[in-house]
Amino acid sequence: MTEDPVPSLGRWRLWEQFALRGPGFPADGVLRLAPPGLAEAADKFDADAPLDGADWADFARLFADAAVETAHTLQDIARAPSFREAVAWQNRPVLTSGIAPFLRWRPGVDKRSSMPRQREELVAHYWQRFCVKNDTIGFFGPVGWGRWDPAAPHAVTVDTGSGLIAESTVYWASWGIDALARTLDADPGLREWVAPRRVPFVTVDGDRVRVPGRRPVTVGAGAAAVLALCDGVRPARAIAAALPDHDVPAVLADLVARRWVVWRLDVPAGTHPDRDLRAWLETVGAPEPRRRGLAALDRLEEGRAAVAAARDVDALVGALTDLEREFTELTDTAAVREKSVSTAPCRALVYSDSRRSATARLGPEALEALRPLRLLMDSAGWLTSRLAAAVRTGTRAVYERLAAEGPVDLASFWFACLPVLHGTARATADELQEEFAATWRRILAAPADARRVAVRSADIEAAVREAFTGSGGWTAARYLSPDVMVAADGPEAVARGDFTLVLGELHLAANTLGASLFTHQHPDAGELVRLTDRDHPGPRLLPLIPKEHRARLSARVRQTLLRPRDYQVALTDFTADPARPRAVHSADAVVEEHDGDLVVRLPDGARFPVADVFSHVLTTLSMDLFRLLPQEGHTPRVTVDRLVVARETWRLPASEAGFADDKDEARRFVRARRWRARLGLPRYVFVVSPAEPRPFYVDFDSPVYVTILAKTLRRLARRDPRGTVTITEMLPTPEQTWLRDDEGRRYTSELRFVAFDTEAGPTGHR
């Protein structure tokens, strides 16, 4: 790339690097499930036409024939090694319980009972995800990369590379290595080499121990001496050697019982927990216990290596099965976790991530088409600044109450602020979202019944500037991560300038490219670190967060762009390497006033805005706040210049979709198309239901996808008679995909950018 200026949109500097996200199966795969001519035949039965008589009998026969052909197509899909391999990574038991019996069934010969239909839907459901969802996981959702290039001849230029995948790596889910660590921790020969550590929020001052919200406790000389040495680095045997006059194991047992100390083998959070566990085992000075521990880890590592080396689906299934058996034998733990609200996404022992061979370059024409994004990002800065201001007000009151009694340690402050963070701040976030959408609706002045709204950025810029002032609020809030799609009839159309940009999501207060799933698939992760250095020349303060928590946290989404200069503060969970120099306990930091603002002062004197301590909570609250229009029954597609900033969306009561209850498939298909025509829905949509874990694709020309939609509507209506589904137009459609591989196959895709606010107020190190 030449030495031209860095791309920017007003005050927002874009990273030169961006991610190219897309599935690993071609987009036209889903079109195979729309029988040619069937939709046109169904539409001959308009709203008043009776669904009986000779014409209906002819259609019913046509529909039955199409059902047989679709079943054969679904079997061809299910038989494909790449499909079966993708399913094996997602949910291996389905291959035996669902896919295998489906392939034994004979369409047109055997009875088409409810079970074969369910298996058809199973295959179709996986297939839509593999073909048109821009997920990032494995070879069926590989991460590609691109860069801005001022010399690029076109808006988007693609180098297809060789094949689909440049590189794949198999990683451990952290919970699996944690289970092995628990097993090793029970080995008496290893336990004395485990380093006890003080709980982050426990304050120790000589012989006085204090936990937030409780009175200080005076302890004996032995407990005080042991507690002072529990730094997470010294092994228990080293503490015992340093204090020969005390029964250290007994004292440690008491400290653990009081919940002041953690004495267990903890593996730091990270992308490679196996490496951290091995590094610890190699510090064990006792040869035989060390050998036992390394042998156990080696057994599992051999299994992971076999999974990584598998070159076909049968070998993969065998390797995964063997690994799970070894794991269960070693740890006496189930090798697959049950799905629940309390588990993070990584349910299996290992997962695979891949780097796409294709790379992209964006030129000046693409940057120009993105110009309207500046207005949206400016308004997003208002959201985070207002949220931060509300939190500052609430936490200031907490500080003043605590400060009236003496110095305020961060641990006490954190716990006292929880009602603000999880109560009033959450309510404030909801209110801000409503105000934000209402303000944008007023600026856009969209007619109530509009299907399409097109405005010029020049015509609304002054109104946006007046309505949305403020930016930042905490250091992470200087980042925005927009997803942008390119709608074009192939790369030739892009080269002609015949394309439209479509905003997918705008993630607030986060550099999402810093997540492990992205950084570890970059050919030179050091470049991402250098971009971070440019944004933050000084150190940052980052809160340590749990290893996993519901859908938001797992090893794959953990931030990895951590530099040696950055500080980490453990509020309640200490998930870093205890030996890391700039890992700080909350009990050892102080909250104080500095230049009129509340700051956190660390033991070495470094100061940071107190909001940075709350950054994970604030980012979680704000990340999905960006919603351009209110949540109403229907909202139009909104285009600003050449950028679609909102896709047309319908919110519909599930109970009012009468076709969903029709048990006859042909009648249901015709009635669904009538329903679609009455509402003006496009052929391709994505559906979000409170009764389903994730959005899914529907093609109204495809009976199997109409059936999946009908089941979703019935399920939601049973669960909540007033429940609504959200239906959003698919844009780009499967025919508007521009990304190709070296064989000319076309894929859906999106570009994940990082934007940094160069004009935000004071944040970071002070």
- Could you read off the pLDDT of 541-594 as tens digits, one per residue? 999 998 876 545 677 888 999 999 999 999 998 999 999 999 999 999 999 999
- Residues 139 and 741 sit within 8 Å (Cβ to Cβ): no
- Residues 27 and 543 sit within 8 Å (Cβ to Cβ): no
Q: Compute the distance between CA of residue 435 and CA of residue 379 in angstroms, rounded to an integer.
A: 12
**Confidence grade of residue 764 (pLDDT, cut at 50, 70, 90):** low
Residue-wise pLDDT tens digits, 675-693: 999 999 999 999 999 999 8
For the ranges 134-148, 275-289, 540-554, the lowest mean pLDDT is seen at 540-554
Closest to 476 measured CA to CA, from 542, 398, 572 = 542
What is the per-residue pLDDT for 448? Answer: 81
Q: Are strands 479-487 and 500-508 parallel, antiparallel or unpaired?
A: antiparallel
SS3 labels along 200-246: CCCEEECCEEECCCCCCEECCHHHHHHHHHCECCCCHHHHHHHCCCC
What pTM did the predictor assign?
0.94
Residue 299 pLDDT > 90: yes
Q: Compute the distance between CA of residue 558 and CA of residue 516 in angstroms, rounded to an integer.
A: 6
What is the per-residue pLDDT for 551? Answer: 47
- Residues 512 and 752 sit within 8 Å (Cβ to Cβ): yes
Q: How many residues does the chain have?
A: 766
- Residues 459-475 have a mean pLDDT of 93
For the ranges 204-208, 342-346, 388-392, the lowest mean pLDDT is seen at 342-346
Residue type (1 letter), 193: W
Q: 3-state DSSP call for residue 7?
A: coil
How far from chain centre, in Å, is Cα 84?
Answer: 24
What is the per-residue pLDDT for 453? Answer: 97
The residue to which tokens 């105000």 are assigned: 435
Q: Compute the distance between CA of residue 455 and CA of residue 639 in angstroms, rounded to an integer.
A: 6
What is the per-residue pLDDT for 556? Answer: 86
- Which has more confidence, 263 or 555? 263
Residue 4 pLDDT > 60: no
Q: Which helix (H) or strand (E) holds 412?
A: helix 410-419
Residue-wise pLDDT tens digits, 222-249: 999 999 999 999 999 999 999 999 999 9
- Residues 139 and 24 sit within 8 Å (Cβ to Cβ): yes
The residue to which tokens 């064990």 are assigned: 284
- C-alpha radius of gyration, the chain, whole number: 29
- Residues 71-78 have a mean pLDDT of 98
- Residues 739 and 358 sit within 8 Å (Cβ to Cβ): yes
What is the per-residue pLDDT for 761? Answer: 62
Residue 663 pLDDT > 60: yes
Residue-wise pLDDT tens digits, 486-540: 999 888 898 889 999 999 999 999 999 999 999 999 999 999 999 999 999 999 9
Beta-bridge mates of residue 559 = 515
Residue 341 pLDDT > 50: no
The number of CA neighbours under 13 Å toward the Cβ of 766 is: 18
Closest to 637 measured CA to CA, from 649, 628, 650, 626 = 649
What is the per-residue pLDDT for 346? Answer: 62
Is the bond preceding residue 732 a cis peptide, omega within 30 degrees?
yes
Q: What percent of the chain has pLDDT over 70?
A: 97
Residue-wise pLDDT tens digits, 329-338: 999 999 887 7
Tell me the two tokens of residue 525. Answer: 């992760």
Residue 766 pLDDT > 70: no
| Torsion-angle region of 300 (φ positive above 0: left; ψ -120 to 50: alpha; else: beta) | alpha
Q: 3-state DSSP call for residue 143?
A: strand
Q: 3-state DSSP call for residue 563?
A: coil
Closest to 484 measured CA to CA, from 407, 592, 359, 369 = 369
- 3-state percent helix, strand, coil for the chain, nearest multiple of 5: 45, 20, 35
For 263-310, give the DSSP string. Answer: -S--PPSSS-HHHHHHHHHTT---HHHHHHHHHHHHHHHHHHHHHHH-
What is the per-residue pLDDT for 470? Answer: 84
What is the per-residue pLDDT for 2? Answer: 40
Averaged pLDDT of the chain: 94
Q: Compute the distance between CA of residue 763 and CA of residue 766 in angstroms, rounded to an integer.
A: 8
Which are the contacts of 616, defined by CB distance < 8 A and separation ≥ 6?
543, 545
What is the per-residue pLDDT for 342? Answer: 43
CA angle 155, 159, 165 (to 5 degrees): 130
**Confidence grade of residue 472 (pLDDT, cut at 50, 70, 90):** confident
Q: Compute the distance between CA of residue 31 and CA of residue 39 in angstroms, rounded to an integer.
A: 13
How far from chain centre, in Å, is Cα 576?
Answer: 21
Residue-wise pLDDT tens digits, 162-184: 999 999 999 999 999 999 999 99
Q: Compute the distance between CA of residue 599 and CA of residue 765 in angstroms, rounded to an integer.
A: 10
Residue type (1 letter), 635: T
- Residues 63 and 668 sit within 8 Å (Cβ to Cβ): no
Q: Compute the distance between CA of residue 270 and CA of residue 554 in angstroms, rounded to an integer.
A: 9
